[in-house]
Amino acid sequence: AEIIYSEEKSVIVPKKDKNLCYFKWRVPKDIGGEVSARLTVVYDGKDIFTDGKSYDTVPYTYLTTPDTSYEAAAPAGFSKAYPPGETEGYATWWEYVYTDTGFEKRTYGIGIDGSPDALYPMRGADNKISSGRGFYANIAAKFTAVSGRNLALYNSYTDIQYITALFPEFGYAYAPNKCKTLIKNTLNGFFEFPDNFGYGKQHFIPLSHPDGNYVIQLIKTDMWTPAGAVTAKENSKPLKISGSVYDEYYIGR
């Protein structure tokens, strides 16, 4: 079997106690199938403990919505969906460190910033938009401290790796053809909509969508920590729909 990654760490453990030891590595892009992880504890030159586990790798999944088409009316059975509940995402853990005064037990934490993200109309100003128009998003995916905990060191967690946008016209469903996987811009680090069938990185609001607030939900996930993966569900700032694109035109004489 090919060794993809290997690392050694020196760990201090108080007598008759325990400590946390973790490693961070990146799964190669084109790898497929099963990978195995193995941990060996060495004390005084001897292996005193070995454990391992196998994992199935999965490809990075891209979800998107269908191309926009003309609608004379809302689909049969359509009803206006209201934003679903939000969920905070954070993790906490503890580690022993050795200082000049002896062992010190420190607690750490890291969370996903829950500040609502803005949506930007492709045409117009502020947050006002007509149904049938498109909007774009620049999602920063920031981190935040956890109250009462030391801010985690950057090498102990990963960036957010997935952001999925759920839309009210699809009932905020998390399913193929109902939501969009955002793409990370490698130049600025922001997450954006994928290209919309040649119309740019935007999402179109259906012509039939009723007036009022338009809110999407963003699921931010795959931020890995020593305590496991962190996921947050956050609702965006609203766009205010008033009328449709047809109201922007008139017949002149």
Q: Which two tokens stand for residue 46?
A: 């001897």
Q: What is the DSSP letter of 199?
A: S
Which residues make beta-bridge pairs with 47? 42
Res 218: pLDDT = 98
Other beta carbons within 10 angstroms of residue 234's beta carbon come to: 21
Which residues neighbour 244 within 8 Å (Cβ) at sequence distance 6 or greater?
130, 131, 132, 207
Could you give the CA distance from residue 31 to residue 56 in angstroms, rounded to a whole number?
10
Instruction: Render each residue's pLDDT in the chain as its tens digit; 253 residues.
Output: 688 889 998 988 898 999 998 988 888 877 878 889 999 999 899 999 999 999 888 888 899 999 887 777 777 778 889 999 999 999 999 999 988 988 999 999 999 999 999 999 998 778 999 999 999 999 999 999 999 999 999 999 999 999 999 999 999 999 999 999 999 998 999 999 999 999 999 999 999 899 999 999 999 999 999 999 999 999 999 999 999 888 877 666 6
User: Pairing state of beta strands 128-131 and 239-244?
Assistant: parallel
Residue 253 to residue 247: CA distance in whole angstroms: 17
Query: Would you list the domain boundaries of the chain?
Result: 61-243
17: number of Cβ within 10 Å: 9
Residue among 175, 176, 158 nearest 231 (CA): 158
SS3 83: coil
Q: State the DSSP code for 139.
A: B
Say which DSSP state 134 is in. Answer: E
Report the pLDDT value the prediction gives residue 152, as an integer from 0 to 100. 96
Is residue 181 within 8 Å of residue 62, measured between CB atoms?
Answer: yes
pLDDT at 250: 63
- Residue 58 has a pLDDT of 82
pTM for the full predicted model: 0.90
